[in-house]
Structure 1
Amino acid sequence: MPPKAKRPCRIPMCPGKTSDSHGYCSAHASLAIGWNNPCRGTAEQRGYDWAWRKLAKAVLKRDRYLCQCPDCNGRRLPATEVDHRVPKFEGGTNDPTNLFAINENCHKFKTAAESARARSGCPPGA
């Protein structure tokens, strides 16, 4: 079987080529961490197992499948996901009072802000 064809690096304007599944050339390979990080573990290993899915369904039902995030300010967006008010990395728990229904787009923005805060090491609320 012939070797896999090299593709351009995922970084715009980078002249490098790669045949790795992450899509970065050797100069940018350090950017390949994140979702594929083997230290991260599976969803079940991180605590999102059948008990979490059951709890998430109960929270969605409690919140009438409407987004409860502070950014919505009363808008009636349909919620399909559940999130923590205080993130787990900041000491939050899976207690139902710490959980709320959230819209998919709101969840993406909230998670991006939390991820940036976690990477920078800033304290909560900063």
Structure 2
Amino acid sequence: MPSSPPRPCRSPMCSGKTTQAHGYCDKHVDQADTWKKSPRRKQDRGGRPWRRTRQRIFQRDKGLCQPCIKQGFFTPAVEIDHIVNIASGGTDSDDNLQAICGPCHRAKTQSEARRGRGGEA
């Protein structure tokens, strides 16, 4: 059986070639293991595990926006949000997820973006 043709290494700025399934040349083979163990890949948002988590959070929060409930309003939730965002050290665990409505999610995201840019919260 013929071997597969060499293709460029996945490492940025590397001109090496590989036939390995992971896509890294012999010089960068250590990056293949790092990519697989990356904490960011814990839960693929878009696949079945995320859909199940999303459904579980909607059921737990009874389909209502949690920030609105804290203010005394009952608004249907349409999204699932990280209470502490991933960039700030949050996780994909259920206790860090909440059901949220569109307007609350936009306001929270804008506030986090301002904080990330060094502005006021």
Scaled to the shorter chain, the TM-score interval is 0.5 to 0.7
| RMSD between superposed Cα atoms in Å | 2.5
CA drift of 1:90 comes to 0.4
Q: Tell me the CA shift for residue 74 of structure 1.
A: 2.2
2: distance between equivalents of 1:118 and 1:60? Answer: 28
- Name 1:32's counterpart in structure 2: none
Q: Specify the code of the residue in structure 2 equivalent to 1:48.
A: R
Amino acid across the alignment from 1:95: S
Figure out how many residues of one structure are paired with residues of the other and give that number.
Answer: 79
Q: For residues 61 and 91 of structure 1, do their structure 2 counterparts lie closer, same or farther at Cα, with a shift above 3 Å needed?
A: same
Q: Which residue of 2 aligns with 1:90?
A: 88
What's the CA shift for 1:56? 1.2
Partners of 2:52 and 2:102 in 1: CA distance = 19
> Could you state the TM-score of these two structures normalised by the residue count of structure 1?
0.55
Cα distance, 1:72 vs structure 2: 4.9
Q: Aligned with 1:113: secondary structure?
A: helix
In structure 1, how many angstroms separate the alpha carbons of the residues matched to 2:88 and 2:51? Answer: 21
Deviation at 1:53, TM superposition (A): 2.5
**Structure 1 match to 2:74:** 76
Which residue pairs with 1:49 in the alignment?
46
Deviation at 1:58, TM superposition (A): 1.1
Q: State the AA in 2 paired with 1:83.
A: D
Whether the 8 Å CA contact 2:57–2:94 is kept in 1: the answer is: yes
Could you say which structure has the higher helix fraction? 2
Ranges in structure 1 where 5+ consecutive residues have no aligned partner: 1-43
- What do the CA deviations read for 1:48-81 (whole angstroms, capped 9, x no partner)? 2312222111101110100101685121000010
- Aligned partner of 2:5 in structure 1 is none
Distance across 2 between alignment mates of 1:82 and 1:62: 12
Question: Which stretch of structure 1 is more off in the superposition, 70-79 or 105-114?
Answer: 70-79
Q: Which has the larger radius of gyration?
A: 2
- Gaps spanning 5+ residues in structure 2: where? 1-40
TM-score by length of 2: 0.57
Aligned-partner residue type, residue 75 of structure 1: F
